[in-house]
Amino acid sequence: MAIIALVSAKGSPGVTTTALACTLSWHRRLVLAECDPAGGSVLAGYLGGALDGPRGIGELAVGELRDGSLEATFWSQLVDLDAPRRERLLLPGVVDPAQAGSVAPLWQRFADFFRTLEKGRPGYDVIVDCGRLQVFGPPWPLLRAADVVLLVTRAQLPGLSGTRSMIRAIERDFTDHRVPPGTLRLVVVGDGHGNGEIGKALGMPVIARMPEDRRTAQALSFGGTVRAGRPLLRAAAALEAPVRELLEQRRARLAWPTPAQGVPDAV
């Protein structure tokens, strides 16, 4: 895999919780990048604020704007969520609203850099928590660069109504920027309308459903013990397979040669 972006239309449907659950349960080396312009929450929540000094995307942005130091300082800004293995790493989000102004002009720079991490030694895939798109300075370049975009929504009508308009906005933007089709899917959180009903109503397939697992969500949001056998972690782990399949299908389509590359036109 490469870049997997998670985003929501409005409210708090569980983007960060889902992104963190995937990071803790998937099998490949991962960097979880908190790119929500409204601010990151994993440091203060899941990690309980236990860090030795400022770290994260805000610090990277300041350094990049000052002297172009992104490549040199990136790895020092990460937090090992499974120390000392360095297989599940966190790039914390902005913690000061003033940092958002420094980060917003660099979304394309970060998108280009994240794409290189898959080819590193060792290679890392990147799960990008983009938060809500209805904020100042949304990270559109990261969504356009993503191999898979997961739009997270609640299964009740209020959440679904906002999701419908957001699907259309993302599709328009992707068309305008010539993003290959087939990258966008829905992740539904909690009880409510069925997956088939939601997919038909919104015109977008549901790739997974995250259960209401309040105990695990509480631990991921505010700290505590996270157990792999809990429903939310099991559902997050199961999401890896369809995401990988979707990615492989997309890459196969992009790799298919065109007539200009030497394949004769059909007669």
Average pLDDT over residues 173-187: 94
Q: For residue 27, is pLDDT > 90?
A: yes
| Average pLDDT, rounded, for the chain | 90
CATH value at residue 130: 3.40.50.300
Q: How many domains is the chain partitioned into structurally? A: 1
The per-residue pLDDT for 250 is 84
Average pLDDT over residues 223-244: 95
As a whole number of angstroms, the distance between CA 114 and CA 110 comes to 6
Give the tens place of pLDDT for each residue, 96-145.
777 788 899 999 999 999 999 999 999 999 999 999 887 777 899 999 99
Three-state DSSP class for residue 43: coil
Q: Lowest-pLDDT range, 116-125, 151-160, 228-237?
A: 151-160
The per-residue pLDDT for 67 is 95
Is 13 within a domain?
Answer: yes
Q: Lowest-pLDDT range, 32-46, 55-69, 150-164, 191-205?
A: 150-164
Is 139 within a domain?
Answer: yes
Tokens found for residue 99: 């940092």
Banded model confidence at residue 267, pLDDT cuts 50, 70, 90: very low
Tokens found for residue 34: 């908190």
* Residue among 239, 253, 169, 255 at smallest CA distance from 204: 169
Q: Which domain holds residue 118?
A: 3-251
Is 46 within a domain?
Answer: yes
Q: For residue 206, is pLDDT > 80?
A: yes
Is 24 within a domain?
Answer: yes
Average pLDDT over residues 46-72: 89
DSSP state of 265: P
The per-residue pLDDT for 257 is 65
The per-residue pLDDT for 259 is 52
Give the tens place of pLDDT for each residue, 54-66.
889 999 999 999 9
The per-residue pLDDT for 218 is 95
Q: For residue 76, is pLDDT > 50?
A: yes
Q: Which residues contact 137 (CB under 8 A, 6 or more apart)?
A: 37, 100, 101, 103, 104, 107
The Cα-based distances of 181 to 6, 178, 244, 247, 259 in angstroms read 17, 9, 16, 12, 20
Share of the chain above pLDDT 90, in %: 73
Q: For residue 261, is pLDDT > 60?
A: no
Q: For residue 53, is pLDDT > 80?
A: no
Cα radius of gyration (the chain): 18
The per-residue pLDDT for 239 is 97
DSSP string, 127-196: EEEEEESSSSS--HHHHHH-SEEEEEEESSHHHHHHHHHHHHHHHHHHHHTTPPSS-EEEEEESSSS-HH
DSSP alpha helix (H) spans, the chain: 15-25, 57-67, 70-73, 97-103, 107-117, 140-145, 157-176, 195-202, 214-222, 231-255
Q: For residue 15, is pLDDT > 90?
A: yes
Q: For residue 258, is pLDDT > 80?
A: no
Is 131 within a domain?
Answer: yes
Q: For residue 89, is pLDDT > 90?
A: yes
Q: Looking at the DSSP assignment, which residues form a beta bridge with residue 6?
A: 129, 150
Banded model confidence at residue 159, pLDDT cuts 50, 70, 90: confident
Is 263 within a domain?
Answer: no
The per-residue pLDDT for 266 is 45
As a whole number of angstroms, the distance between CA 137 and CA 143 comes to 13
Is 267 within a domain?
Answer: no
Three-state DSSP class for residue 237: helix
Q: Looking at the DSSP assignment, which residues form a beta bridge with residue 7?
A: 151
Global confidence as pTM: 0.92
Is 257 within a domain?
Answer: no
